[in-house]
Amino acid sequence: MSQMNTKVDEGSFLADLAELIAIPSTKDASQAGEGAPFGPGPLAALEKMLEIGRRDGFRTKMLQGYAGYIEYGPEEAKDYIAVLGHVDVVPATGKWAHNPFTLHEENGTLYARGVIDDKGPTMAAYYALKALKNSGAAIRHRIRLVIGTDEESGCACMKKYNELEPMSLFGFAPDAEFPLIFAEKGQIRAWIKTPKSGSSNASVRLVSFYSGERMNMVPDHAYAILSGADAEKWAVEAQAALSAINVPFTAEKTDQGFKMTVKGKSAHGSEPAGGVNAAFLLASALKKLPLVKEEHAFVTLLSDTLNNDFGGERLGIKYQDDVSGELTVNAGVIRFGDDGGTVSLDIRCPIKASLDDLVQTLTASVRQLGLSIGELGTSKPLYMDPKHPAVQILKKVYEKHTGLKDVKLLTSGGGTYAQYLDAGVAFGACMPDYPYTGHQVDEHVKLDDLLLASEIYADAMAELGNLEG
């Protein structure tokens, strides 16, 4: 193991992180353009990281606004080690105790959107690269901190990066949990479409339904607007159903009709059972309404087929293996309006599952409901042999800094940039004794944990910098 000073200057670290956090880097397709493929926020955050890298004397490169990198090591070296972080964030929905885009420290804990997913860990990795540079340690390979901007919405940034840059010798993503994740589930991202409503004189109609902002988040809010002669009567019925199960809601009369808003609890889409899906709550309260056929099909898809069926049993896609556990399903973005309804499904698939078979089964099940699949995409699972020399290096570095012995390596339902490497894993930054709060209201992490992660990453970079290729 290498011997070098890996201690982090806490004041400088917090100052740089606060500047990065202050940039609301949520994807905004409506403002996307040449050089800013995901909107101005993600681009500004990427530019900030590259600016910090240039300030400290690193080589940097911008890659058409999709991604960029900060690099250290022998410039003539053939191979490089990739450390893959991202600076885009999910929306800061829900009621926060503090401004989500102002870094807030309280009793040694940092609060902000992105503080653990993934601006905090990315900054920890950057300060690790600084420690390596300042140490003057001899390394054979370049170490490249790759910074992406679309991790939360499909990873188009990494697809573009792989088109523009050669593949790394090995890499890790500081975007998950310690000690190390060697297997990540595959993904199916699908949109279920329900038909639009025809003309009708029904006494109550569903004008609109809106819930969720991202496929990979459990929606913490939902609202529906009812119209028609009996809209108020049925709105009262729905509100009574919500009150009976102590669900927070508000109701108001608008120009369009009666609007009901329901609160749930957000969570990461890879662990949907950890949240409370507001769309399911609201749809369950609407299922008894005498809606027209198309509107009823949309509501019952949520209230009956998808409602709390996080394993996909009702869709016929339930699956489990001995490596990565159970398949999970998250309904994250739900809309209904003049053009009908759409429901996004973020399906995390065990390592041994056939994505093609699951897609076929899902498509058939949706057709049986009289509905259709719109846009659909898949991502292959990640599996890295735990005995790989680089994996063993990371394991030993983690054990060195924590004092733990023979730690158990992990599998995950979450997907990271490691899936875009020929050889790579997810490595921290969340410590095993602390809850992972990415995508949640009041996202937080202990400052000491981020500083320790930075020290771990510095040693890992030094060791991987001399990895036998």
In one letter, which amino acid is 7? K
For the question of residue 213 being annotated catalytic, the response is: no
240 shares its domain with 127: no
pLDDT digits (tens, 9 = 90+) for 9-58: 999 999 999 999 999 999 999 999 999 999 999 999 999 999 999 999 99
311 and 356 both lie in a single domain: yes
Same domain, 299 and 328: yes
Task: Determine, yes or no, domain membership for 2.
Answer: no
| Any domain includes 26 | yes
Q: In what order do the strands lie in the sheet with 372-379?
A: 249-253, 258-263, 221-227, 205-211, 328-337, 340-349, 186-194, 372-379
pLDDT at 5: 83
- Which residues, given as ranges, of the chain have pLDDT below 70? 1-3
Domain's final residue, options 330, 351, 379: 379
On whether both 82 and 19 belong to a single domain, the answer is yes
- pTM value is 0.83
The pLDDT of residue 177: 96
For 133-161, what is each residue's pLDDT tens digit? 999 999 999 999 999 999 998 899 999 99
Q: Which of 117, 118, 151, 443 is labelled catalytic?
A: 151
pLDDT given at position 248? 87
Do 50 and 192 belong together in one domain?
Answer: no
End position of a domain, from candidates 346, 379, 412: 379
CATH number assigned to the domain comprising residue 89: 3.40.630.10
Q: Residues 407, 386: one domain?
A: yes
Angle of helix 447-464 relative to helix 119-135, nearest 10 degrees, comes to 50
pLDDT in tens, 423-459: 999 999 999 999 999 999 999 999 999 999 999 999 9
**Number of folded domains that form the chain:** 2
58 and 145 fall within a common domain: yes
- In DSSP terms, which residues pair with 340 in a beta bridge? 337
pLDDT of res. 4: 79
What domain range is 96 assigned to? 10-184+382-464
Q: What is the CATH number of the domain that holds 224?
A: 3.30.70.360
What's the burial of 208, exposed, middle or buried (CB within 10 Å: 0-12/13-18/19+)? Answer: middle
Provide the pLDDT for residue 3: 65
Active site residue 88: yes
pLDDT of residue 80: 98
Q: Are residues 203 and 336 in the same domain?
A: yes
- Of 348, 379, 410, the residue at which a domain comes to its end is 379
The answer to the question of residue 106 being in a domain is yes
Any domain includes 1: no
CB 98 within 8 A of CB 104: yes
Q: Are 103 and 195 within one domain?
A: no
119 and 26 Cβ atoms separated by less than 8 Å: no
| Domain annotation covers residue 332 | yes
Q: Please state, in angstroms and rounded to a whole number, the distance separating the CA atoms of residues 188 and 158.
A: 18
Residue 5 falls inside a structural domain: no
Tell me what the pLDDT averaged over the chain comes to.
Answer: 95
